[in-house]
């Protein structure tokens, strides 16, 4: 007997019964982002490793510890994408989009890969939905992106999420804060965890993002980056807060928020859920401004801002909400007789109704009338229709409401019309829609 082969640890299968939740989130994103004027882009899952080293940062945990990197047959170092912003930026530069339009708004969705320590809501293959805006340096663009996320979460029915914002300054004012932070953290080195002691040497800002309670206590008492902002950065952050107020978006200013990537300047933000289903992986999305990345990757000096949301975590929250996302069949057709003519007629009627847009179930295995009716009930279909010799001879059948009610006479040539009429009745539950 051959040995069973299992899936790769941390890379999950999505099967019918669960995939419908994912499709609901993806379809909602496409609709909502399109309403804001964001067009979808799709980039390869494999990129030149140098792209992530130069954009994300060589000293980040993502590049230093978590990327799936390999050498291809041509001797090139390639990596599975660990995030979506750098590939989108590479595509923007490579296709000279800045020469075509002054402001570009893109969104993407798809799998990312990081060799992480797994826990609830954190996997080695995970999916993100993100958006990027190129060409606008004004805080109004930052506010618009946050509004996209707020409206997206509302459309999903997720309301218990808090927006945290901060400003990291720019090349003019961040060095002074960086020096003060290093001085402070060195004075408290012995109170930091082993990882943060290493981060202190390589990337001190990452200490502020540590989840260790002792490190959080040290970081909380440290210097406040907002006190070091230069006047342009301070004005940008003040304007952003005013615009969020104008949009009616509630937020919390969190001076310890830094995000985990090196490319951010000025605005950074996170959306944090309080639901216990996520455990410590409570951030469902975040992003910020990266005005220097495009030029650093050999492209034009174009400002940019973006965000990404964890699709896996959004799905977890939606499943906890108790909604049903699987489609409800309109009709289950039962072949009452085992002869070929009845089976063929049932199959043909099923096909015709599907062509007309109905979700119709038909068990190709056949079986007894009793067993097929049990399957019809289990399917959740709104109606069933028994098709046998009498129905074929007379051209008449009856729709049975599976939730109870009187049988509905129907001509076999008018089943579609009768189903549509039944669907328009107030007492009839909606078909093919998310329902409570």
pLDDT digits (tens, 9 = 90+) for 253-289: 999 898 766 678 999 999 999 877 776 668 899 999 9
For residue 58, say whether it is annotated as part of any ligand binding site: no
How are strands ordered across the β-sheet holding 331-335?
360-362, 331-335, 383-387, 396-401, 408-411
Is 105:38 a contact under the CB 8 Å cutoff? yes
For residue 264, say whether it is annotated as part of any ligand binding site: yes
For residue 396, say whether it is annotated as part of any ligand binding site: no
Closest CA to 224 of 180, 192, 274: 180
Same CATH fold assignment for domains 19-173+229-320 and 331-423: no
| 3-state SS assignment for residue 107 | strand
Is 238:143 a contact under the CB 8 Å cutoff? no
Closest CA to 56 of 210, 237, 203: 203
pLDDT of residue 55: 86
The ranges assigned to domains in the chain are: 19-173+229-320, 331-423
H/E segment holding residue 128: strand 125-134
For residue 365, say whether it is annotated as part of any ligand binding site: no
pLDDT of residue 197: 87
Query: Which stretches in the chain have pLDDT values below 70?
Result: 58-61, 260-262, 279-281, 425-436
pLDDT of residue 208: 85
For residue 84, say whether it is annotated as part of any ligand binding site: yes
* Residue 357 backbone class (left: φ over 0; alpha: ψ -120 to 50; beta: rest): left
Beta bridge partners of 289: 305
For residue 199, say whether it is annotated as part of any ligand binding site: no
* Residue 110 backbone class (left: φ over 0; alpha: ψ -120 to 50; beta: rest): left
Residue 304 has φ and ψ, to the nearest 5°, of: -155, 155
Is 324:376 a contact under the CB 8 Å cutoff? no
CA distance 316 to 327: 19
Fold adopted by 19-173+229-320: BirA Bifunctional Protein; domain 2 (3.30.930)
How far apart, in Å, are the Cα atoms of 30 and each of 130, 187, 266, 426?
11, 49, 28, 30
pLDDT of residue 430: 38
For residue 83, say whether it is annotated as part of any ligand binding site: yes
For residue 324, say whether it is annotated as part of any ligand binding site: no
pLDDT of residue 424: 74
Q: Which CATH number fits domain 331-423: 1.10.3720.10, 3.40.50.800, 3.40.640.10, 3.30.465.10?
A: 3.40.50.800
pTM comes to 0.86
What's the full length of the chain, in residues?
436
CA distance 339 to 285: 57
How far apart, in Å, are the Cα atoms of 138 and each of 103, 142, 240, 254, 375?
12, 7, 9, 21, 59
Give the CA angle between residues 321, 322, 324 to the nearest 5°: 120
For residue 85, say whether it is annotated as part of any ligand binding site: yes
Which parts of 220-322 are beta strand (E)? 252-253, 267-273, 283-289, 304-310
């Amino acid at each position: 007997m051959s040995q069973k082969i299992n899936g790769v640890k941390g890379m999950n299968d999505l099967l019918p019964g669960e995939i419908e939740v994912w499709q609901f989130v993806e379809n909602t994103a496409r609709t909502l982002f399109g309403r804001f004027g964001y067009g979808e882009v799709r980039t390869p899952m494999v990129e030149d490793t140098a792209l992530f080293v130069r954009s994300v940062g060589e000293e980040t945990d993502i590049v230093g510890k978590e990327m799936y990197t390999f050498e291809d047959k041509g001797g090139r170092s390639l990596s599975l994408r660990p995030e979506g912003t750098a590939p989108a930026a590479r595509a923007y530069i490579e296709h000279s989009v800045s020469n075509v339009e002054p402001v570009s708004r893109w969104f993407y969705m798809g799998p990312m890969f990081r060799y992480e320590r797994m826990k609830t809501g954190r996997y080695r293959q995970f999916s993100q939905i993100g958006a990027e805006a190129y060409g606008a340096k004004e805080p109004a663009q930052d506010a618009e992106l946050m509004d996209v996320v707020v409206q997206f979460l509302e459309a999903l029915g997720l309301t218990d999420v808090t927006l945290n914002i901060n400003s990291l300054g720019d090349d003019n004012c961040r060095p002074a804060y960086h020096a003060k932070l290093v001085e402070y953290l060195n004075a408290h080195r012995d109170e930091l965890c082993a990882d943060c002691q290493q981060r202190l040497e390589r990337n001190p800002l990452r200490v502020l993002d540590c989840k260790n309670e002792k490190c959080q206590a040290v970081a909380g008492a440290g210097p406040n980056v907002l006190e070091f902002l230069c006047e342009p950065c301070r004005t940008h952050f003040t304007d952003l807060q005013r615009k969020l107020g104008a949009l009616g978006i509630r937020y919390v200013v969190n001076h310890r928020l830094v995000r985990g990537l090196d490319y951010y300047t000025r605005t950074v933000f996170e959306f944090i859920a309080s639901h216990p289903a996520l455990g410590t992986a409570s951030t469902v999305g975040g992003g910020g401004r990266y005005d220097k990345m495009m030029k650093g990757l050999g492209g034009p000096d174009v400002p940019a801002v973006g965000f990404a949301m964890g699709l896996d975590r959004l799905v977890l929250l939606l499943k906890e909400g108790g909604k049903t996302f699987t489609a409800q069949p309109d009709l289950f057709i039962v072949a009452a007789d085992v002869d070929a003519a009845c089976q063929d007629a049932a199959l043909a009627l099923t096909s015709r109704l599907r062509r007309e847009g109905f979700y119709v179930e038909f068990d190709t295995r056949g079986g007894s009338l009793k067993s097929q009716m049990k399957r019809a009930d289990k399917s959740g279909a709104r109606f069933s229709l028994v098709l046998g010799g009498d129905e074929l001879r007379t051209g008449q059948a009856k729709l049975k409401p599976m939730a109870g009610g009187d049988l509905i006479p129907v001509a076999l040539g008018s089943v579609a019309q009768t189903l549509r009429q039944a669907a328009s009745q107030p007492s009839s539950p909606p078909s093919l829609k998310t329902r409570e």
